[in-house]
Amino acid sequence: MKQSKINRLLNRQPTGTALAVAWLTREGYSPELLKQYKKSGWFDSIGTGAIIRHDDEVDYLGGVYALQTQLGLSVHPAAKTALALQGKSHYLSLATKSVQLFAAAGDAPPLWFKKRDWGVNVSCQLTSFLPSALGLVDIYHKNFSVNVSGPARAIMECLYLAPKTQPLLEVYELMAGLNNLRPASVQPLLEACTSIKVKRLFLYLAEKAGHQWVSYLDLERIDLGSGKRAIVNGGTYVSKYQITVPKELEVAE
pLDDT tens string 91-123: 555 556 789 999 999 999 999 999 999 999 999
Instruction: Name the H helices within 116-182.
Output: 151-161, 168-176
Greater pLDDT, 4 or 124: 124
Alpha helices by DSSP H, listed for the chain, are 2-12, 21-26, 31-39, 60-69, 79-85, 111-115, 151-161, 168-176, 183-192, 196-208, 247-250
The Cα 43–Cα 232 span in angstroms is 51
Half-sphere exposure of 92 (CA within 13 A, CB side): 20
> How large is the average pLDDT for residues 36-51?
95
pLDDT of 147 > 90? The answer is yes
Q: Give mean pLDDT, residues 121-143.
A: 97
Per-residue pLDDT for 5 more than 90?
Answer: no
Distance in angstroms (rounded) separating the CA atoms of residues 165 and 187: 26
Determine the pLDDT at residue 2: 54
Residue 156's closest CA among 219, 224, 202?
A: 202
* Average pLDDT in the chain: 94
The stretch 188-192 carries a mean pLDDT of 98
User: Cα(6)–Cα(51) distance, rounded to whole angstroms?
Assistant: 13
Closest to 151 measured CA to CA, from 72, 79, 48, 57: 79
The predicted pLDDT at position 53 comes to 96
Given this model, what pLDDT does residue 253 score?
A: 73
pLDDT at 240: 96
Q: For 101, what's the count of Cα atoms within 13 Å in the CB-facing half-sphere?
A: 26
What's the burial of 200, exposed, middle or buried (CB within 10 Å: 0-12/13-18/19+)? Answer: buried
Provide the pLDDT confidence category of residue 88 given band limits of 50, 70 and 90: confident
- How many angstroms separate the most distant Cα atoms in the chain? 71
Does the structure show a pLDDT above 70 at 128? yes
3-state class (DSSP) for residue 230: strand
Share of the chain above pLDDT 70, in %: 96
pLDDT at residue number 1: 44
Q: What is the pLDDT of residue 97?
A: 79
Q: What is the bridge-based pairing of β-strands 50-53 and 98-103?
A: unpaired
